[in-house]
Chains A and B, each alone.
Chain A
Amino acid sequence: MQTTDHIMELAGHRQEDFSVCMGCKVCASVCTINDLDIDMNPQEFLLKLFMGEEIKADNPLVRYCTSCYRCASACPWQIRIPEVVRAVKESLGIEARFEKAFKKSLDIWGRVYEPFVVIMSAPDLLMGGYIKFLPKWMEYAGFHFPHKVKRIRTSHTLKKGSSSKEGRS
């Protein structure tokens, strides 16, 4: 059963760390998935979760979130959307190829190496009929950050488990 509490538990965060979201949609403006013209708004994903709506396996974020943490680093509240996405996937019993590739990349290089991630997840793209996005992905794979979305912090410095109340009493 997919309950908000259960998802939060899987994500390893308190609900308030996500529900503090103020709806600015900054996350959507930088989300990597939107490089694929998929029209994904991570904020809507959070909202669905809090309204108790069930998130299905075909949700684009569940399918394609690359855990790039771009959303989290641009988000004013540094909300760790990929972690809640991962929790949803876990509750649905899915581990996306992206994720595997991502983890493996971390194992091998100690960082996300996009060309590797793209090659590893190519079958997913093919099966999902997203082959038409491949040129865009190749462009993306060509460099680490394809455009000047300047990053405040990289995923490595965003440590898991720190609460958003940090630095405030």
Chain B
Amino acid sequence: MKILIIGGGISGISAAKVALAKKHDVTILECAEEPGGLMARIANCRVGFKTFLDEIVNDPRLTIIKQGKIASVDKKEGRFNVTLEDGQSLIADRVIIATGLSPYDPVEYKGKRVLTSLEYDQIIDQRNGELPADFNRVAFVLCVGSRSKEYPLCSSVCCSYSLREIKWTLQRAKPAITVFYNDLRYFGQEFYLEKVYRDAGVTFIRANSRYFDEDETGVNVRYFAEGKMKEERFDYVVLAIGLRPNPMLESLSKFFGFSLNEYKFVKEEEPLKTDVEGIYVSGGALEPMNIKDSILTGFGAGLRAVRNGDIGSEVMPVDERLYREEAPVIAPPEGAFDSCLFYIATDDPGARIFYEFVSSKFIAMARDLKRAGKNVYVVTRNVVAPSYDELEYEEARREGVIAIHLEEGETISFVDGKALINGPGREFVLPADRVISFDDYAHLFKDGEFLSLYRSEPQIRWNPTRWGRKKYHVGFIRHPRSERWEKREIFGAFGEMLLDAEEERALPQVNEERCSGCGSCKDACPQKAIEMEIREKVIAVFGPQVATGEPIAHIKEDTCVSCGLCASTCPSDVISYPEIPEKGNKHALECEIPQPK
């Protein structure tokens, strides 16, 4: 089959990998000078993208067309005849839309010292040898161009990427950093990072600002916190710009006939599929999402596109490698009451990955209760409602659910059917016959092997669903979030399995002679694949021989996923990867999704 992938970003490349692994002919149509998309514009990610692309770039079945623009599309007998502006024509049996996202351009706020995060990424990129001379105070302002009347979705990645920017900033310099936020919509592991940076002195303020008074030497930022108007001076202000639908989707939808939804993203008729037969969709063309999910959906769309006899969306395919767990049920409060207060907050960073799940359940319950005529309050330290989930939160507020943001440092206590909110700037009481609190449910989630808790940051290998060689996590146990993701993840996992079967896995090897037994690798391993073994060693130094036990690291091959974290952690540098042998002589394992019965 001939597969046409529109968009050479990370998601399009991921889709191409799966289609190539199944020995199909793939054409990637990229409108820019080079493939790469947004990822190649992010600090230090260019290399990651290139490595990813290099794995397929020499495949004879792959064609990459650069600076290609579509002039017309004809659909005949289920095939697409695509003519480009330069006259070239292409034939495709299947098309994957992977055109990505369009970063918001806040022209009304930008300046020499008020930068967008894309501009800031250029500053902290390792290739940029010199940081600016005055780099002592940096402010991050979140939610610029998202969660608004113009664009009501949450861009879902800007909280996370700002955290990454903080990380890379602190790796190079030690400016004082302040983050102005509405919510901190992190993903998995990043909640731990948040704690790390808080402990390291990064200031988080739950108040946003649009007052940026810039002059030659700095920017004054005003914000309202602790009941007071405050003004602080920064050297640089970084605006966490939102990610909006690619405007070119409009013309593509006309060319190919697929529909867009009301927010101008591609309408997902079935998971990763448009409403036109033969046209699939992945990555940022679906909704704002991070790199890992762009890869995941790319794998999934690639797999769907090359499968014959596509399965419908309602069937849960069976494969013993696919691992899922039912999400716990959060039941609405019962009995008679007038007012109900939902409290979305937790101090336990290990429980924070459930913010997303709990926020959406609580908001849905709040809406139901409000419709039933109750007084409903949602008091929050952090509401995690990324992407489309923000719309639910918006509707709740419209319907009269009263949302109260607790600032940092404000406290809430519950006494006799009342909630007391107390802080430096205000003090008030809310009626609360019922209180439903995050921590009431935290025990439901504890001790699960949540993939995103261990691996949400990009690593040496991109494994969006792989937990172990025979275990691929999807749904709640991958990352607790909105249900629409699970079906996408299932396809993504099958795509990933296919690629894993293709790939000769390079196992890390410990040089046992030189291992000092420090155990750092064991702590670093997300898979718990390293054990410290006691090795008998015979020591004979002048005199009698003495046998002693010394620990050395042992890697369990069946659980290791070759992520490489151990090798990069080992202080003695004694873990190595053997050269990956030439591919090709190994049969691709079939990875078919069983047909519904």
Question: Which residues does A use to contact B, with CB under 8 Å?
Answer: 15-16, 19-26, 28-30, 34, 37-41, 43-44, 47, 50-51, 74, 76-78, 147-152, 164, 166-169
Contacts and interface: CB of A to CB of B under 8 A. Distances in A.
B377 to A, nearest CB: 9
B403 interface: yes
7 contacts: A16-B398, A16-B399, A19-B402, A22-B182, A26-B208, A29-B223, A166-B149
Contact of A24 (B149, B208, B262): B208
A15 B400 contact: yes
- In the complex, which of the residues A23, A34, A40, A164 has the most CB atoms of chain B within 10 Å of its own CB atom? A23
A64 to B, nearest CB: 13
A78 to B, nearest CB: 5
Given A22-B182, A23-B405, A76 B147 contact: yes
A25 B262 contact: no
Given A20-B394, A76-B143, A147-B213, A25 B224 contact: yes
Contact of A148 (B214, B227, B426): B214
Interface in B387-430: 393-394, 397-400, 402-405, 426, 428, 430
Contacts of B400: 15-16, 19, 50
A29 B222 contact: yes
B239 to A, nearest CB: 12
A149 B111 CA distance: 12
Interface residues of B, number: 41
Interface of B: 108-109, 111, 143, 147-150, 152, 182, 207-214, 220-225, 227-229, 262, 393-394, 397-400, 402-405, 426, 428, 430
Given A25-B207, A41-B227, A51-B428, 19 more contacts: A19-B397, A19-B398, A19-B402, A20-B394, A22-B403, A23-B405, A25-B208, A28-B223, A29-B208, A29-B221, A34-B229, A37-B229, A47-B402, A76-B143, A76-B147, A77-B149, A78-B149, A148-B213, A149-B211
Contact of B227 (A29, A39, A152, A167): A39
A47 B404 contact: yes
Nearest to B224: A28
The 4 closest A-B pairs by CB, nearest first: A28-B224, A76-B148, A16-B398, A24-B208
Contacts of B152: 168
A99 B412 CA distance: 39
* Interface majority SS (helix, strand, loop, mixed), chain A: loop
A24 B405 CA distance: 9
B227 A77 contact: no
A21 B108 contact: no
A22 B229 contact: no
A22 B224 contact: no
Contact of A50 (B207, B224, B402): B402
Contact of A34 (B109, B222, B394, B397): B222
A109 B210 CA distance: 29
Contacts of A169: 262
Contacts of B210: 26, 29-30, 74, 149
A22 B212 CA distance: 21
Given A26-B208, A50-B402, A21 B222 contact: no
A147 B210 CA distance: 12
